[in-house]
Structure formats: structure tokens, C-alpha cells
């Protein structure tokens, strides 16, 4: 038997490592049917699968963390995720070509490798050098409007790039992958709450490229024995609660960024479409705070660490705001006023997309911390007016 010190015994972690076990309290002793705790701080591991069980428990309870590689880690979402993982004790390697990412967004203590995700040999070498255990693949082209003009570029980066990343994982012996997809895969195939098994009817090359990339992940990971979690991101907004990083994309098409720009310049903001089948005629969206999205990835990675199955999950809150409602909330919370107008619908925009997160709640032990619209808009407004952000102008 192996014995390790456990200052904070966690029944869920024990269950993940040993299966369902009963716990009985006998004074200071805790007796289990697959091991014995002679006290609250000691746990004896049985010899069966002891090495794997010990690794899980040491990683999860003693605080030892492995190396995580994030593609696109110098971007908006990636930088928040990198900071969170480092705070949790993980070693972080960032792979980014800096086409949209920024060196200042990468945490100083992370390792930044400037290369293209299509350079598979470079990816393999990096994964081997840093002994990467988990890859989080965020790097992608993600502008709907641009994808209509440059569809080939989107398939090159989003589909072939994903093939390159998964192939590199296989060659380097990485067996855990988190992949970022998008709610744009649903298109107009549904209205309102959408489940993961809903028909995929993307209406933009961006959405279609992510459908194909999801297939690459599912098929290739099955072939190579890689367990994965694919998240379909809904609308990611917000900024780091301490104002360390936030959205910085001068050409961003996101509604929140448009609000920030209009407030700063006192310029008009035009809503694309006013005749949708929604309560006020403007498109409805499910928003998720970037910090909660980062936390969700941490939970998914731990799910894989503990031997969990591959998953496909929506990443949202399960509620929505129309474009007009969101703008009014922004103006009220920031005490700003700017003109709001309407223009024709934009190609590729569905009327309503709201995440059904019942599967998410069932599979991952995750509770959002920043789900209110006040937190989502407030953190972005604080970032926009922070010294860090102002220095970037």
C-alpha cells in the first residue's frame, strides 16, 4: 500500500480515483471499502491501479500541476485562460502567430512560441520539449463578415489548422484536448434554446468551417486515442475582474465592443436588423463572461485529468438579451448616451441563439461567478478605462 498525506480529504476526488466507495466515521478513523484512513489526514491506497490513483490524487489534491499548451493564448480568451491556469499552478505554453494576439496579453511567466498552427513539426517539437499533457486549441479565424469575403482563409485556418494541431498531439503523445467551436454551427436551424444534438445548419463560412473542424476533432481523436471536450462558445464578453487583460481588437464586430467605441467617440451605433422574429425585432444572443469561460475550461480539463469521457457541450448561460436591450443596459450602467440606429440585416446572423446548458450542468461541476449583465458590461467598462488599456491607444 501507498500512503499520502491529505490535509483536505475530498470525497468527489476519491470517487473519481477509486470508483464509488462508502465512508464510515469511527471516532478519528475513516474506514473505506477500498482503503483505510487511519486519520482524517492519511489515506492508504490499495495496490490495484495504485500508480494511476496516486497520480490523480497527487495532481488534484497535493497541488502538482502539469503543462498546458494553449493555441491562440495571446488572444482575448486565451490570455484570460492562461492567467487562470497559472494562478492554479499549471505551467503554460502559448502558441500564437500574433496575427490577432498580442505579446502584452501573454502572462510574463508563460512561454510564448510565435508560430503558425499549420506548422505541425513546430507544434510537435514544442509539445515534446515542454512535456505537454493537455492542449487547448483556441486559435482560429472568427469574424462572420470576413468569412463571407474570404471563405478559403477560414477553411485553411479553422479546418486544416485543427487537423495540424490534432495530428501534432498524436505524434507528441498528448492525449487530452480542449477545442473551441462556436454556436454559429447551429445557424438558423433552431430558434431559442438549442441543445447540442440540434441540426447543424450554419449560414456563414465561419460556421461551416467550425462544423468541419468539429468532425476533425471527433474522428481524429477517436483514431488516435485522444480524449477531448469540444465547447460551442456563445457570445463571449467581459474582461478580467482585476483589469489585467481584456478585449483589444480595433476591428471587432462584437456588440459590446461597438458599444464601447460609440461611448468613447460619441458616435452612432447601428443594429443589424430590426425585423427578426424576436420580442423587439432585434437579434437575441446568449452572452458568457470570458472569466467564466476560462473557469469552464479548467473544469473540463480536470474532467479529462480524472479519466472522464469525451464531451461536446454548449458554453453559455442559457439566457439571452436582444441587441436593443443590451445597448440600453450598457448606456444605463455606464451612464453614457449615443445615437442608436438600424440598418439591414447582416449576412450570416441568425435571429436567436440561446444555449441549452442542461448537458453542461450534468457533466461538469461548474458554477458561473460573473453571469450578471452588470458584471459582464461593468468589467469591460473598467478595462476600457484602465491604465493598461489606455496605454494601448
Question: Which residues are the active-site residues?
Answer: 206
Nearest of 53, 58, 97, 92 to residue 75 by alpha carbon: 97
Nearest of 139, 95, 143 to residue 249 by alpha carbon: 143
Distance from chain centroid for Cα 282: 27
Helices 255-265 & 323-334, crossing angle to 10 degrees?
Answer: 40
**Which ranges of the chain would DSSP assign to H, the alpha helix?**
11-18, 50-61, 76-87, 120-129, 144-149, 151-155, 161-172, 205-224, 255-265, 290-305, 323-334, 358-363, 373-384, 387-391
Taking CA 154 as the corner, what is the angle to CA 151 and CA 159, rounded to the nearest 5 degrees? 125
3-class DSSP state of 211: helix
For the chain, helix (H) and strand (E) counts, in that order, are 14, 20
What is the β-pairing status of strands 352-355 and 284-285?
parallel
Tell me which residue has cell 448561460: 317
Tell me which residue has cell 468613447: 264
Helices 290-305 & 76-87, crossing angle to 10 degrees?
Answer: 60
Amino acid at each position: 500500500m501507498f500512503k499520502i498525506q491529505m490535509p483536505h480529504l475530498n470525497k468527489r476526488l476519491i470517487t473519481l480515483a477509486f470508483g464509488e466507495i462508502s465512508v464510515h466515521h469511527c471516532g478519528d478513523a475513516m474506514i473505506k471499502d477500498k482503503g483505510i484512513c487511519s486519520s482524517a489526514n492519511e489515506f492508504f491506497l490499495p495496490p490495484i491501479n495504485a500508480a494511476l490513483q496516486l497520480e490523480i490524487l497527487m495532481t488534484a489534491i497535493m497541488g502538482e500541476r502539469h503543462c498546458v499548451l494553449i493555441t491562440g493564448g495571446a488572444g482575448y480568451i486565451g490570455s484570460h485562460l492562461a492567467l487562470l491556469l497559472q494562478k492554479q499552478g499549471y505551467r503554460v505554453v502559448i502558441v500564437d502567430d500574433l496575427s490577432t494576439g498580442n505579446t502584452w496579453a501573454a502572462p510574463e511567466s508563460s512561454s510564448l512560441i510565435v508560430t503558425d498552427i499549420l506548422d505541425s513539426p513546430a507544434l510537435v517539437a514544442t509539445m515534446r520539449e515542454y512535456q505537454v499533457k493537455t492542449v487547448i486549441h483556441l486559435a482560429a479565424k472568427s469574424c462572420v463578415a470576413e468569412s463571407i469575403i474570404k471563405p478559403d482563409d477560414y477553411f485553411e485556418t479553422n479546418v486544416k489548422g485543427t487537423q495540424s494541431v490534432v495530428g501534432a498531439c498524436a505524434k507528441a503523445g498528448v492525449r487530452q484536448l480542449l477545442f473551441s467551436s462556436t454556436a454559429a454551427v447551429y445557424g438558423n436551424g433552431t430558434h431559442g434554446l438549442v441543445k447540442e444534438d440540434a441540426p447543424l445548419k450554419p449560414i456563414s463560412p465561419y460556421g461551416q468551417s467550425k462544423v468541419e473542424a468539429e468532425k476533425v476533432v471527433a474522428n481524429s481523436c477517436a483514431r488516435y486515442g485522444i480524449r477531448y471536450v469540444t465547447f460551442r462558445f456563445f457570445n463571449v464578453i467581459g474582461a478580467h475582474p482585476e483589469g489585467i487583460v481584456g478585449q483589444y481588437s480595433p476591428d471587432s464586430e462584437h456588440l459590446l465592443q461597438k458599444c464601447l467605441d460609440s461611448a468613447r467617440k460619441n458616435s452612432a451605433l447601428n443594429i443589424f436588423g430590426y425585423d427578426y422574429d424576436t420580442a423587439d425585432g432585434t437579434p437575441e444572443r446568449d452572452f458568457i463572461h470570458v472569466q467564466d469561460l476560462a473557469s469552464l475550461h479548467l473544469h473540463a480539463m480536470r474532467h479529462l485529468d480524472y479519466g472522464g469521457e469525451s464531451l461536446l457541450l454548449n458554453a453559455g448561460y442559457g439566457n439571452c438579451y436582444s441587441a436593443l436591450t443590451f445597448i440600453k443596459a450598457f448606456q444605463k450602467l455606464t451612464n453614457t448616451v449615443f445615437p442608436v440606429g438600424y440598418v439591414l440585416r447582416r449576412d450570416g446572423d441568425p435571429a436567436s441563439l440561446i444555449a441549452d446548458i442542461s448537458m453542461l450542468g450534468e457533466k461538469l461541476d461548474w458554477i458561473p461567478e460573473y453571469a450578471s449583465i452588470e458584471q459582464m458590461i461593468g468589467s469591460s467598462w473598467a478595462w476600457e478605462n484602465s491604465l493598461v488599456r489606455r496605454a494601448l491607444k
